[in-house]
Structure 1
Amino acid sequence: MKRLFLALAPLLAWGAAAAQEVPKVSAHVEPDSILIGDRFDLVIDVEKDLVQVVEFPEFEDREGKIEIVESLPVDTLERDGRQLKLRKRYRLAAFDEGRYNLGTASVLYADKNIIDTLTTRDSLYLEVTTFQIDSTSQSIYDLKGQRTLPFRLAEIRTYLLWGAVALLLLAAGLYALVRWLRSRGKRLGDLFKPAPPLPPHVAAIRALEALHNQKLWQNNRHKQYYSGLTDILRTYIAARWGIGAMEMTSDEIIAAMRPVELPDKARMDLTAILRDGDLVKFAKATPPAEENEADYLKAYYFVEETKLAEESTPTEGPDTMDN
C-alpha cells in the first residue's frame, strides 16, 4: 500500500494543480440605455482563487464621446472558503448620440508562472439617445432683448449700512487686540510667525497615532495601512539622519542605514516592517491581525529607541490596536 501511494503521489499532485480553474470574468453595463450627458456604470466581476492575482484595466476616454468620471476601488462581494468574488466599477458619461460597442472587458491574470489576459465572451453595448422635440405642437420664439433698469441707491442702502457697521466692529476689535498685545510686551506681527518645526520623533509618533486611529487594516485596507506606516518611517529617517529615504527602495534604505549606529532590535524591526510593507503593496499579501499590530508597535518603538537624546520628552506608550 505504501509503495502504491508513493507511485500515485505525483499524479495526485498534478491533478490537484490542474483542478484549479482560471478566474471567471463577467461584465455588464448599468443601465444599458441613457440620455446624452447621463452617467452609467461599467461593472467587471471576477471569481478567483485566493492565491490568484488579477489586475483590472485602466479605462481610456473615447475621442470625447465617452469619458470616465470615477474609477471606484475594487470591492469584495463574497468569500466562500478560498473563492473570492471581486467587483470593479467604472463610472462613465456619454456625450454623443448613438449605439456604442464597448467591446469585451478584460483583466490581467497572474498565477505562479502564468501571465495571461482574460476577456469576457460577449461585447458590451450602450444606447445613447437624445430628447425628441415635437415641432408641430411646440412654438419656437426668438430671444427677447435684455432690459436695462436704472440704478437706484436704495437698492444697496442696506448693504452699505451693514458694511459700515462691520468695518467699525473690525477696527474696534483690532484696536483692542493691539492694546492687549502691548500690555504683554508683544507685537501684532508675533501672531503670524510660523510655529517652530516639531522634532522628527514627535512628528513621527503623532503620525503613527493618527494612522492607528484610521483603523485601515481592520477594514481590509492593508495596502493603505502599510503605505502609511512605511512612509512615516521614511520621513522620520530622512529628518533624523539626513538620508533621502523617500526616494529609495526598501533595500536601499536598509543598505544606507548599515553605517548608522542602532540597537540590534531597532535595526531588525525596521527591516521587518519594510519587508512586510513590500509584500502587502507589491505581492498583495494579507497579513494576520497580530502581524499588523506587531508592525505598528515595532515602528513606534523604533522611533522611541532612536530619537536624539536632547529631544527626549515624556510620551505615552502606543495605543493598543483593536483586532
Structure 2
Amino acid sequence: MTRITSAIAAAALTLAALPGAAQEPVVRSHVEPDSVMIGDRFDYIIDVEKDLVQVVEFPSFTGSPEGDFELVEEFPVDTLLRDGRHLKLRKRYRMAAFEEGNFNLGAAAVLYADKNILDTLRGRDSVYLRVNTFQIDSTSQSIYDLKPQKTLPFRMAEISGYLWWGTLVLIVLVVGLWGLVRYLRSRGKRLGDLFRPAPPLPPHVGAIRALEALHNQKLWQNNRHKQYYSGLTDILRTYIAGRWGVGAMEMTSDEIIDAMRGIELPDKARMDLTSLLRTADLAKFAKMAPDAEQNENDYLKAYYFVEETKPASEQAEEPEGEEIMKN
C-alpha cells in the first residue's frame, strides 16, 4: 500500500512539472495611490504570475469613455521576479482623474494563450479609486471685486538704455549714408541710381547666353531631341521678336521664313535659319532623331545666325584681334 501511494505521488509531481500541466496565470491589479485629488495622476498596475512558456498580452487603452480618466503614459512590461520557470510580470499605466467621486475600475483582464488555449483571464478583486476635490466654504469666504490697475510713476532709467542704443544706431546709419553718397558722387552717380532696375539685356546677348545654357544641358546626348530642338527654336523666336519686332513666338516655321523675306539678312544666315527650322519641325513633330554631327551643326547655325545678324554697332565694337581671327 505504501508503494502504491508513493507511485501515485511521484506521477502527480511529474504531471505538475510538465508544461501542459502548468496552472493558469494569476492576475492581480491595484492603483497607487488609491485616493487622489481631481486632476492628479495615479498608476494603474497589473501583475501577472505565469509559467515561462505561457503567453499573456496586457490590455491597451486610452482612458474611460466618459472622460473621467485619461491615459498619460504607458510603461513597458517589467519582470519583477524570475525563479526557474516562474515569472512575475508588471504593467504600469499612468492615468489622470478629472471627475470627483468613488470609482470602481473593475478587475484587470489580460489575454492568455497556451498551446490550443486562447482565453481572457481576469483578476479576482475589483480596483477602487477615490477622487477628491477642493471644498470651498462660500459662507466663510468673502467675494471681492477686481483690483483697479495700479499706475506707477514714470522713471527715465527705464528707457535710458533704449535711448542710448537708438542714438548710437542712428549715428551709424547717418555716417554710413553720408559715406555712400560721397562714394557715388565720386563715380558720377546718384543715390537714386541704386534703386533703378537693371536695363534689359540686348536680344543678341540674351540669345547667346540661352544657347550656351541649352548646349550645357546635353539634351540630344540623352536622346531628348524634341526638347533640344524646341529649345533652339524658342531661343531664335525670342531673338527675332526682340531684334526686328516680328511676332515670331506665335508664328509657324513657314510664317517666320515668309516674314524674314522682307528683312535684309546675309544669305548664309537666311539659309541656316530655314534649314534649322525645317529640321526642328521634323524632330518635334515627326520624331526624327538627327545624328550627333547634325545636332552640333544646328547649334552652330543658331549661334552664328545671332552673331551675324546682331546690330551693326555691336559688331563694330569687337576688338581688332577678333576681326583678325575671323579673317
TM range (shorter): 0.3 to 0.5
TM-score, normalization by structure 1: 0.45
- TM-score scaled by length of structure 2: 0.45
Higher Rg: 2
